[in-house]
Amino acid sequence: ADNGYKLWLEYHKVSNRQLAGVYRQQLQYMVFPASSNPLKAAKAEFLMGLDGMLSVKPTEVTNIVSGQTIVVGTPKSLNALPISFPDSIGNEGYLIKTIFINKKQCTLITANTDVGVLYGVFNFLKLIQTNQTISKLSVADHPRLMYRVLDHWDNLNRTVERGYAGSSIWNWHKLPDIVDQRYIDYARANASVGINGAVVNNVNADALVLSPQYLLKVQALANVFRTYGIRIYLSIKFSSPVELGGLKTADPLEPEVKKWWAGKADEIYNYIPDFGGFLVKANSEGQPGPQSYGRTHADGANMLADALAPHHGIVMWRAFVYDNKVPDDRFKQAYNEFKPFDGKFKDNVIVQVKNGPIDFQPREPFHPLFGAMPNTPLMMEFQLTQEYLGFSTHLVYEAPLFAECLQADSYRYGKGSTVSRVIKGDFNKKLITGMAGVANIGADLNWCGHPFAQANWYAFGRMAWNPDQSPAEIAADWLGMTFTNDESFVSPVKKIMLQSRENTVNYMTPLGLHHIMGVSTHYGPGPWVDNAGRPDWNATYYHRADSAGIGFDRTAAGSNALSQYAPEVKADWGNMKSCPDEYLLWFHHLSWGYKMRSGRTLWDELVWRYYTGAESVKQMGLTWNKLQGKIDPERFAEVKQLMQLQFKEAVTWRDACVLYFQSFSRMPIAAGSPKPE
Ligand code: GCW
């Protein structure tokens, strides 16, 4: 076994012989002329997939043999054949169809562009990987978002900020001369789910990345990615004109600063003609930015946008800003700083907003900026790396977390104005659109540390392509492609995956608790932290437990953060009677004896959740143990050990939090709670 290196592109043998026979029958011949790099890559992938799954290699022909031929290409590459299709699939969409061409039946994979064909090929292979029939196909698909980007928080010394899967996959030392096979496999995996961009360095950026030496290295990566439809982007340090250029200032309104960036952009595009653009973290957590010169986010972003515009590059400007010098509730800062600049950003700026207002917690309400800036493109930022979700030790399938945010109703354009619709630009067609995922990839043999963490990379790609896809379907596809299509494995493990995030919320931060992890590591419980150097790094700042009760009052009586939402949302969450249990302590400070929907007191409910959370991890392990023999022994054993460790840590979370909060509630652990070990 490869221990997971091949990800969901393992192409294991189709075990159902009858089905394999039918597939082979229809794939005896192919019309697949390939002269461009993407088409060559598509063809190589196609042949590799068929060889792996069916041990078949279609014979190359120029004329269709009816019922036994697959035809792959664009109208241009297939110019000998009369092919037409709707425009609606755009530049990256594709069609997979059973049709008649010149009166002969065939399977056609086609698109407007070579990269569209590549996507079509991956999706055709997926049909076989998941054992679907291919005899009467009519698939037309296209991405709903334009920029589908992985953000690597990788430093130039190969450490990875919040990375739990080994060192960075980018070997800067050996680049540009050594092009690791990993870069190609990385690009294949991304293309297979439609990811079309990669920011290769940390948002806490090093100015050095813009030096000629590094641009050569970046160019070597870009040359690999291009074949797979992936553009490369860089995180930039706002003070680069000073640090790298020797200027006295990085003030975005200074002509010499503008000139420096424009020159730098020209230089980059000389190396990389299809360079994607810049990602910027400015004036947050100590990073430099326009505010350091008395200028605004819009001044900073627009200056960079001007430098990139002649080359069609974009600026992804992050809204994750907070600062202990700004008093008040950290929840509110991004909205306060960005909302006033709605409509003030250039067309090629997209404001990148984390899914929630604090920081990638196990559960957060959706960020109040979604829907609040009608004239500004907003790019969703999800975190795949499990900074607050047990690193790569805990099994947490994140698609339900993504879906919960995407399907939340902002009410900003009336009922049904979901976050998904906002980021798709449904309410303002002029805007560019996108989704970013903070990568969970490292140099570990299996890329992501935990075998199941691969599912988060996979699910991110699928949801960036179409944010409304169902987590359950994505999980089933991933399991089939990664492990086996055996229902007796897929069905229980899919259940495990779908339940996993809620389990983790329960044993870490139930009922709307947040940011009570160990200070700075963000691993393990730390509800007692109250001397972390700044108030908003303290757990006590967030849970506010005292002898009377627990929770952060964000109603008008408290920080009033709720006023940043539409009136409907504010009314719903602002009233403790209608506020869902899941968000309760995000918005309310309640007494320990408060009566919950379940009939239990708040204290009993809290205890019950912690115990249920830990218990469900134990159950997950028991389910897994019964599946021995259904997949390769290596990954089976690895996951088994990980689940045992996860259980141990879930118990630690439970006991630490229950005992700590009990020192305030002074109430007993009710009979009927699941028993401790
Ligand atoms: O989640 C927090 C992390 C920081 C990170 C920051 C950010 C890259 O703890 O490590 O820095 O967010 O998103 O900028």
Task: Show which residues are catalytic.
Answer: 285, 359, 387
Distance CA 672, CA 44 (A): 59
* 8 A C-beta contact, residue 477 and residue 454: no
Mean pLDDT for the chain overall: 96
Q: What is the mean pLDDT of residues 663-668?
A: 97
Cα dihedral across residues 99, 101, 102, 105: positive or negative: negative
Q: Ligand 1: distance of its center to the CA of 151 in Å?
A: 12
* 36's tokens: 């461009």
Residue nearest to atom 7 of ligand 1 (CA): 320
Distance CA 637, CA 274 (A): 44
Which atom, in ligand 1's list, is nearest to the CA of 203?
8
Higher pLDDT, 676 or 246: 246
Which ranges constitute the DSSP H helices of 413-486? 419-423, 454-465, 471-482
Domains and CATH numbers, the chain: 17-141 (3.30.379.10), 147-256+320-473 (3.20.20.80), 505-552+589-665 (3.90.1330.10)
| pLDDT tens track for 139-196 | 999 999 999 999 999 999 999 999 999 999 999 999 999 999 999 999 999 999 999 9
* Phi-psi category of residue 447: left, alpha or beta, with phi > 0 → left and psi -120 to 50 → alpha: left
Three-class DSSP labels, 459-471? HHHHHHHCCCCCH
Ligand 1 contacts CB of residue 364 (under 6 A) = no
Q: Ligand 1: distance of its center to the CA of 464 in Å?
A: 21
Coil, strand, or helix at residue 71?
strand
Ligand 1 contacts CB of residue 281 (under 6 A) = yes
pLDDT of amino acid 621: 98
Which atom, in ligand 1's list, is nearest to the CA of 381?
13
Ligand 1 contacts CB of residue 387 (under 6 A) = yes
Q: Ligand 1: distance of its center to the CA of 280 in Å?
A: 13
Counting ligand 1 atoms within 8 A of each CB, the residue from 152, 153, 284, 318 with the most, and so the one to mutate, is 153
Q: Ligand 1: distance of its center to the CA of 147 in Å?
A: 21
User: Is 0.90 exceeded by the ipTM?
Assistant: yes
Written as one letter, the residue type at 223 is: N
Residue nearest to atom 11 of ligand 1 (CA): 204
Written as one letter, the residue type at 2 is: D
Asked if the bond preceding 176 is cis, omega within 30° of 0, the reply is: yes
Phi, psi of 244 (to 5 degrees): -105, -35
> Is pLDDT at 513 greater than 60 in this prediction?
yes
pLDDT of amino acid 533: 82
The H or E element containing residue 590 is strand 590-591
Q: Taking the CB of residue 71, how many other CB atoms lie within 10 A of it?
A: 22
Distance CA 96, CA 117 (A): 10
Q: What percent of the chain has pLDDT over 90?
A: 94
Q: Ligand 1: distance of its center to the CA of 335 in Å?
A: 18
Full DSSP string of 170-183: --TTTTTT---HHH
> Is pLDDT at 544 greater than 90 in this prediction?
yes
Distance CA 143, CA 463 (A): 10
pLDDT of amino acid 1: 58
Q: Ligand 1: distance of its center to the CA of 74 in Å?
A: 42
Q: What percent of the chain has pLDDT over 70?
A: 98
| pLDDT tens track for 601-624 | 999 999 999 999 999 999 999 999
What letters, b where the CB count within 10 A reaches 16 and e where it falls short, cover 478-490?
bbbbbbbbeeebb
* 394's tokens: 């805990």
Place of tokens 């990375």: 163
Residues 6 or more apart in contact with residue 322 via CB below 8 angstroms:
284, 285, 330, 333, 334, 536
> Is pLDDT at 668 greater than 90 in this prediction?
yes
Q: Taking the CB of residue 242, how many other CB atoms lie within 10 A of it?
A: 18
Which atom, in ligand 1's list, is nearest to the CA of 284?
14
Which atom, in ligand 1's list, is nearest to the CA of 287?
14
CB-based burial label for 433 (10 Å; 0-12, 13-18, 19+): buried
Ligand 1 contacts CB of residue 161 (under 6 A) = yes
Nearest to 97 by CA among 69, 140, 138, 135: 138
pLDDT of amino acid 280: 98
> Is pLDDT at 675 greater than 60 in this prediction?
no
Nearest to 406 by CA among 468, 318, 472: 468
Report how far apart, in Å, the C-alpha atoms of 357 and of each of 10, 15, 365, 366, 501 are: 38, 47, 7, 7, 19
Residue 535 pLDDT class (50, 70, 90 cuts) = confident
Ligand 1 contacts CB of residue 518 (under 6 A) = no
Give the full edge-to-edge strand order of the sheet including 59-60: 59-60, 29-31, 69-73, 104-110, 94-101, 138-141
> Is pLDDT at 230 greater than 70 in this prediction?
yes
Q: Ligand 1: distance of its center to the CA of 155 in Å?
A: 13
Residue 349 pLDDT class (50, 70, 90 cuts) = very high
pLDDT of amino acid 471: 98
Q: Where are the beta strands (DSSP E) in 19-79?
A: 29-31, 59-60, 69-73
* 329's tokens: 């509730």
Which atom, in ligand 1's list, is nearest to the CA of 388?
1
Residue 218 pLDDT class (50, 70, 90 cuts) = very high
Q: Taking the CB of residue 151, how many other CB atoms lie within 10 A of it?
A: 27
pLDDT of amino acid 676: 52
Residue nearest to atom 3 of ligand 1 (CA): 162
Ligand 1 contacts CB of residue 203 (under 6 A) = yes
> Is pLDDT at 672 greater than 70 in this prediction?
no
Distance CA 88, CA 144 (A): 11
pLDDT of amino acid 84: 75
Q: Long-range contacts for 271-274 (Cβ within 8 Å, ≥24 apart)?
A: 271/215, 271/216, 271/218, 271/219, 271/222, 272/215, 272/218, 272/219, 272/222, 272/232, 274/222, 274/226, 274/231
> Is pLDDT at 8 greater than 60 in this prediction?
yes
